[in-house]
Each structure stands twice: as C-alpha cells, then as structure tokens.
Chain A
Amino acid sequence: MKTLLVAECRQGRPADATAELFGFARTLGAEVSVAYIGNPDDLPRFDGLVYFADVRDSGEYDPDVHKRLLLQAVEAGRPDAVVFMHSSWGWDLAPRVAAALKAAQVTEVTGVVGEGYIVDSCNGKMRRTVRPLTTTVVLTLQPGAFPALQPGGAPEIHLLRAEHGSNVEFIRYEPPPADGVDLTRAEVIVSAGRGVGSREHVELVKALAEALGGEVGASRPAVDAGWLEHSRQVGTTGQTVSPALYVACGISGAVQHLAGMKGAAFVLAVNTDRDAPIGEVADLFVVADLRQFLPALTAKLKR
C-alpha cells in the first residue's frame, strides 16, 4: 500500500502530530511519501519523497491553493491513501481533496482491520468499520490513536507549483482569549463530562475541586452543553494537562479527551457505566452515581 502523509504547518512550525502519521503508516506496513506545505528548513526527516511547497508562497491556510497542491502530489505519486491528521486544518482540507478525487473519505480513524478503518460513533460509545469502495481513500486520523514515530533520514524533494487564486482569503490568527484558565500547571483537576447530566450537578464537581484544592476542567460535551467555558476544556481542541490527580466525573473517555489528560499521574474515574472507555486509563474506577458519590467524597475530604 502506498500512503501520502499530509503534514501540517501551523504558525511557521511543523505540527508535532506528523509523527502519528508515520506511526499509522508503520502500523499498516505501508510505503510512505509526504506532502508538506511548510518551511524548507524543517522538512520531515525520513528516507523517502517529500512533495513540497513553500508556505511563504502558498499560505498556511488557503484551502483552494492547498487542495490543488495536494492533487498535484496525488497525480504524481498515485497513492492508495491520502492521510491527514484530524486537526482544524486536516478536517477542513481532507473532504475538498476527496471531492476532487471522487474518493471515499473515512474520518477520525482509530484503527485498521483488514481493508476497513475503525471509527468511533455516538460519542465514543460505539465503533464501526468503514471500508472504502474507491481505489483511492482519503483518511483523517484521530489524534492519539496511533503511536508517534520519528523515522529519521533525508528526504528527496519533489517541488509542487502553487496556482494562486482562492475563494477564501486568510486574514489573521486571533490568539486564545487571555482570561482563559491555565490548567497545564494545576496539581489537581476535577473534570465534568456529559454524564454529569445537568448544569446543577456541575456544582457537585466544583465543590469536589474546591475540597481538593484543584481546578475544574471539562470534556468537550460539557463545554458543548454550555455547562463550563471552553477555556476549561481538556483534550485535543482544549488543553493538554499533566496533574498529580485527575478526577474524571461522568466522562466517557473519547480518545480526543484521553489525548489531553493521559499525562496525569493518577486518574480517578467516576461513572455509572463500567464499560466506559475512561476505564482504560483510570487507576481507580468508581462505578457509582456521581450525584451520591461526589457529595460523599467532598464531605469525607472536608472532615
């Protein structure tokens, strides 16, 4: 199998997650080439072909121009799979390439089985295997699902030529809001997930965080529900944390969340569903209704 790994460049730097693209290719035992729209002095290091375009000419976010560059690379290398990380850049670009190639796309791949790709559904509770029916497939990989691998070596460069002209114009980056909470240095984080159930029950999570002298965190669904602000989100589109204690309250444990908290020294999970994926990383898994258990634990800690 021939893969074209599409490496991302963000604010002048190659994305760390590029290593996971190499890890994915290794898992498949696939032949590797890389497409990189970035700086010429930080090309991915491996022994193979890099389809390269200079970011100073092609822009960091210019989906029309990038799509045409990637189509050139596909035309030249005829890969079986065009592989992106599932990032804000990758999920935006992958379907544009798939549409142009009339190729099947599989989004947020977490594993491979035979000719199929495993993906999560229903918020990580369920999984499915999606098999492409087209000769070329476009994939995005769920961050954290494949091992990071730095192959090393010296690539051979194939220059891509940018055709300018785009229907979307990039204007500027806006940094994250400054009033955000920095969870990256917290010793203790108590996070609320969808299983907390309602805004009132988030108060139980806050009370426990206070009793432990820690910060309140959140999973994506708790932020989406409007219970906690985005600046408290832990996971791939939030913060990556490494506290001494991480308490996951009603968090099922989608890979995007796990990727943000797997650096915690000790993980306590509270969930009614003992099959919840958070069990994979929990040092201590309390199978209980958090409406009863959290107040009991808070009271015990305060005594």
Chain B
Amino acid sequence: MKILVCVKQVPDLESRFVPNAAGTWFEEAGLAFRMNDYDEFAVEEAVRIKEQLGGAPEVTVLSIGPGRVVETVRKAMAMGCDHGVHVMDQDAADRDPWQIAAMIAGFAGPRRFDLIFTGMQSIDRGSGQVGLLTAERLGIACVTTVVGFSLEGRRATAERELEGGARGVVGFGLPALVTCQLGLNTPRYPTLPGIMKSKKREIECLSPDEAGLEAPLTMVSGFAPQVRMGSGTVLEGDAVELAAQVVALLNEKTAVLRRGGAQ
C-alpha cells in the first residue's frame, strides 16, 4: 500500500501581516512558519495507518513552496513519513487552488497512491478546494472534513463533521483522498531519534513544471487588513479602572448582574 500526505507551511496567524507590493499576499520577512494545523492531522492519520498495518505501507509526504517548506517536510518525516518530496516553487503563495491541485495530481497520478491525506483547508487561505480538486483530477473517491477514519482491506469508513456537531458516516473503496478535520486524532510530537533520522534522509526535489503546473484560473488583488466600522463604546486604560467602568456599564445597560450570578 502507498500513502501520500500533502502538507502546507503557513504563517503564525498571531503575526501582523504587511501586504506585498503587488497586493496579492503578505511580505514574508519576519514571519514564523509552521505546518498547517489540519495537515498535522493528515500526517498523524497516515502514520497510524502505517502502524496498524505493521509498517507495510510506504508513506510519502509532499509540500509545495520555497526552500523554507523543507523544514515542514522534515517534521512530517520525523513524525513517521518514509519519503519526502519538495516541489520547489518560489511563487507558491501566488498559485491558486487549481494550480496547487494540478501539481499534486501531476505528481500523484503516475505513482498510483492508494490513499491520499490532506488537511480540510489551510488556516491562512482556507479555500478548502485543493484536496477535492486533486481527487477529481485523479478520478478517485474523496471524503472531506473527516473526524473518524477506519480501514478494512481496501474498504474505508469515515465520519464527516457536519453542522452543530452532527456527523455523516460514509463508506468508500480505495484509491481515495481524505481531507482531515480537527478531532480526527491528536498529532504526535516528533521524537528526538525521529528528528535526527529525518535530517539525514534525502528529499526528492521537483520543479513546478515537472510536477505539472498549469495556468491559473483566478487573479488576486487588494490583500489588505479588514475594513471595520465600530459602533459601540471603546474603553482603554488601567485594568482595575477599566473593570470598575465595565461593571458600572453592565449594571446600567444589562440586568445580568442583578440576577444573583455575580454574588
């Protein structure tokens, strides 16, 4: 069995984002990057399947981006992936979901993976398209937003997360692509020996064209902070004084403090 995991490197969202000159995305200088949260669930699930099947499946991890993403590929290898692949793409931030999916499908098609895991979306862009577009291009089954997954032979069962905490249970045969949601598993921390071992491993490097890059279907502009119009009272200052002001205002404008909860 062959498993592919697709991972993206994303910025720390606590950062302050400065638009680039073209207004398409942010300036990278000074930002810290890490593995997309949902992709960690994807890596963990792939490694668990490998362990459940006695180590037989080969797990390949793929990431697209500039040189910095190698660090994320190595993290996935330290978590238990066998092979690392890097599509070296300096312009990855300006690619649209169609182009990213074209490269993943271009890489995956001839290699005939039985299972592909991706995150349900990236936390910085959140298109939620790449997994589905990849599966559709490959002509394989795709199940999204998965919070439960099990495999018996070449038949899989998955639970999709629906609104309000409900779930939809679906069954499908391999090959298939699964997009992972929070709740599927708890990603492991790489062990020190795992980290040491991953550092020595070779990572296959492809160019975007070798992977199968296509022309974009969208054009982006106007990357900027949200425009806001506040309407309420804004208070600033010393915490203790603020607390007194807020209690006074809550007493004036709401009835909640008189209902006995605060005593």
Where chain A touches its partner, the secondary structure class is mixed
CB within 8 A of B166: which of A95, A120, A176, A212? A176
Which residues of the other chain, A, contact B223 by a CB distance below 8 angstroms?
121, 126-128
CB within 8 A of A194: which of B13, B97, B255? B13
Which residues of the other chain, A, contact B25 by a CB distance below 8 angstroms?
128
Q: How many residues of B contact A (CB 8 A)?
A: 89
Bound-state CA distance A237–B120 (Å) is 14
Nearest Cβ distance between residue A91 and chain B, in whole angstroms?
Answer: 5
The listed residue with most B CB atoms (<10 A of its CB), out of A99, A131, A293, is A99
Top 4 closest A-B pairs, CB basis? A213-B261, A176-B165, A99-B136, A95-B132
Bound-state CA distance A239–B165 (Å) is 9
Q: Is B236 an interface residue, CB under 8 A from the partner? A: yes
Contact B124 A133 (CB under 8 A): no
Bound-state CA distance A301–B129 (Å) is 47
A129-B220 contact in complex given A170-B168, A173-B167, C-beta closer than 8 Å: yes
Which residues of the other chain, B, contact A296 by a CB distance below 8 angstroms?
239-240, 242-243
Q: Is A177 an interface residue, CB under 8 A from the partner? A: yes
Q: Is B195 an interface residue, CB under 8 A from the partner? A: no
Interface residues of B (CB under 8 A from A): 11, 13-14, 17, 19, 24-26, 37, 96-98, 123-129, 132-133, 136-137, 140-145, 157, 159-173, 176, 182-183, 186, 216-237, 239-240, 242-244, 246-247, 249-250, 253-257, 259-262
A125-B226 contact in complex given A169-B171, A274-B234, A284-B232, C-beta closer than 8 Å: yes
Which residues of the other chain, A, contact B164 by a CB distance below 8 angstroms?
176, 237-239
A131-B219 contact in complex given A245-B250, A287-B236, C-beta closer than 8 Å: yes
A187-B256 contact in complex given A99-B133, A116-B221, C-beta closer than 8 Å: yes
Q: Is A148 an interface residue, CB under 8 A from the partner? A: no
Which residues of the other chain, A, contact B253 by a CB distance below 8 angstroms?
266, 283-284
Contact A230 B170 (CB under 8 A): no
Bound-state CA distance A126–B27 (Å) is 13
Which residues of the other chain, B, contact A297 by a CB distance below 8 angstroms?
242-243, 246-247
19 residue pairs from A and B, CB less than 8 Å apart: A88-B145, A91-B128, A91-B145, A92-B144, A94-B129, A95-B132, A95-B133, A96-B142, A126-B19, A128-B24, A130-B96, A130-B218, A132-B217, A174-B167, A176-B166, A224-B37, A245-B256, A286-B242, A297-B247
Nearest Cβ distance between residue A113 and chain B, in whole angstroms?
Answer: 8
Contact A230 B163 (CB under 8 A): no
- Pick from A45-53, A72-80, A102-110 the stretch touching chain B: A102-110
Which residues of the other chain, B, contact A293 by a CB distance below 8 angstroms?
239, 242-243
CB within 8 A of A133: which of B26, B137, B170, B216? B216
Nearest Cβ distance between residue B219 and chain A, in whole angstroms?
Answer: 5
Nearest Cβ distance between residue B239 and chain A, in whole angstroms?
Answer: 4
CB within 8 A of A126: which of B163, B216, B225, B242? B225
Interface string of A234-252 (1 = CB under 8 A from B): 0011110000110000000
A169-B172 contact in complex given A126-B17, A213-B262, A297-B246, C-beta closer than 8 Å: yes
8 additional A-B pairs beyond A99-B132, A244-B255, beta carbons within 8 Å, are A96-B136, A113-B222, A168-B170, A230-B183, A237-B161, A244-B254, A276-B228, A297-B246
Where chain B touches its partner, the secondary structure class is mixed
Bound-state CA distance A204–B70 (Å) is 38
Interface string of A270-282 (1 = CB under 8 A from B): 0000111101101
Select from chain B the residue with minimum beta-carbon distance to A240. B164
Which residues of the other chain, A, contact B169 by a CB distance below 8 angstroms?
170-174
Nearest Cβ distance between residue A215 and chain B, in whole angstroms?
Answer: 11
Q: Is A288 an interface residue, CB under 8 A from the partner? A: yes
Contact B162 A88 (CB under 8 A): yes
Which residues of the other chain, B, contact A159 by a CB distance below 8 angstroms?
none
Which residues of the other chain, B, contact A168 by a CB distance below 8 angstroms?
141-143, 170-172
Bound-state CA distance A67–B202 (Å) is 41
Which residues of the other chain, A, contact B242 by a CB distance below 8 angstroms?
286, 288, 293, 296-297
Interface string of A132-152 (1 = CB under 8 A from B): 111000000000000000000
The listed residue with most B CB atoms (<10 A of its CB), out of A113, A211, A297, is A297
Interface residues of A in 145-201 (CB under 8 A from B): 167-177, 180, 187-188, 194
